[in-house]
Amino acid sequence: MSGSMPETLLSVRDLTLSFATRMGPLKVLRGIDLDIAANEVVALVGESGSGKSALGKSIVQLLSPPFVDGRATLSGSIRLHGEELITAPAHRLRAVRARDIAMVSQDALSGLNPVMRIGAQIAEAAQAADPALSAAAARRDARDMLAAVGLPDPDKAARDYPHQLSGGQRQRVMLALAAIRQPQVLIADEPTTALDVSVQARVLALLADLQRQSGMAMLFITHDLGVVANIAHRVAVMYAGQIIETGTVAEVFTRPRHPYSAGLISALPEAPAHHPRLAGGPPDLHNLAPGCAFMPRCRHAAMACSQPPPLKPFPGGAHALCWSPLS
């Protein structure tokens, strides 16, 4: 170990995902490169339909090429500590899913078994992550984790079934279910979107605490830029299946380089006034502009933008996929 660059934990390279549809192949991820270091929180932002969930699911489900549920094709590279997961054998993927990479999603019910008590589900996850753990120890750990995520009566929650809890309580249970594995990477896909605003802030604070205590890496997916500064170190901005800008939170928020990032940020109450709002809506992935996918909405579009844009580097590790970046 030397220097100040943190070691890359998760490394995604040229990740491409396409779905077979009646209108032909739909390219949902178009060459994603993304690195996340241990202890680092990267926020993945972008409008609805830009491919954020597709990227999160591709990483966590570690779907093997060439087919994903018969209709999708995934290619490229996903490495954890240098180990290639895309071509790893099934038993390795099961172990990675049980222990190393966990996901919390927007819909807390979808991740829970409706006919199994909460405590038993969490204990089962604990034993899947650590087969040496006794059943009694797993039950105790599960109960302690339910207390740690702030459920007021953890013993009762452990005996409850998912439908007996409120939305906010279920989201805490989902966090407990992920955290009990002590994953190296947590993918949190809009984990608070379905909750009341008052509950959102508390669940986010809890997520930030869990991340700091465990040192896990986190990919925090959100369409709400307002929460990014509170939780993330770096931001990756997605547009039409590509990461069009990355940089530290401070860099991207105060000095966005891509006109799309500038437009997203302009919607924030504390945004610098000089960035114009975004016009138009998300593109149709079946009919993308041949060069820069953002060109039809871009105020700075020029001739060059009808060709695929280059990834331009900036000081501090920021990048923008643009022919004529701002500032």
Q: How many residues bind to ligand ADP according to rule CB under 6 A?
A: 13
- Range in contact with ligand ADP (rule: CB under 6 A) among 52-60, 116-124, 192-200, 312-320: 52-60
Q: Cα dihedral sign for 246, 250, 256, 262?
A: positive
Q: Let me know the angle formed at the C-alpha of 191 by 185 and 192, rounded to the nearest 5 degrees.
A: 150
**Among the residue ranges 31-39, 50-58, 160-168, 177-185, the one whose residues contact ligand ADP (CB under 6 A):** 50-58
Q: To the nearest whole angstrom, how small is the minimum distance from the Cβ of residue 243 to ligand ADP?
A: 12
Give the one residue of 54, 186, 210, 264 binding ligand ADP; rule: CB under 6 A: 54
**Stretch in the footprint of ligand ADP (CB under 6 A) among 45-53, 85-93, 203-211, 300-308:** 45-53
Among 15, 42, 51, 121, binds ligand ADP (CB under 6 A): 51
The 34-53 site mask, x for binding Mg ion (CB under 5 A), equals: ------------------xx
Residue 293, beta-bridge partner list: none
**Site membership for ligand ADP, residue 48 (CB under 6 A):** yes
Using CB under 6 A as the binding rule, the residues of this chain from 279 to 318 that contact ligand ADP are 285
Q: Any contact of residue 192 with ligand ADP (CB under 6 A)?
A: no
110 binds, among ligand ADP, Mg ion, none (CB under 5 to 8 A by kind): none
Please return the burial class of 252, using the count of CB atoms within 10 Å of its CB with bins 0-12, 13-18 and 19+.
Answer: buried
**122 binds ligand ADP per the rule CB under 6 A:** no
d(CA 131, CA 317): 40
Q: Measured between alpha carbons, how far is 31 from 311 in angstroms, rounded to an integer?
A: 12
Contact 61, 105 (CB under 8 A): no
Residue number, 169 or 171, with CB nearest to ligand ADP: 171
21 counts as binding ligand ADP under rule CB under 6 A: yes
Distance CA 293, CA 306 (A): 9
CA angle centred on 68, ends 172 and 89, rounded to 5°: 85
How far is 209 from 215, CA to CA, in rounded Å? 10
CA distance 148 to 209: 10
Q: Where along the sequence are the contacts to ligand ADP (CB under 6 A)? A: 19, 21, 26, 28, 46, 48-54, 285
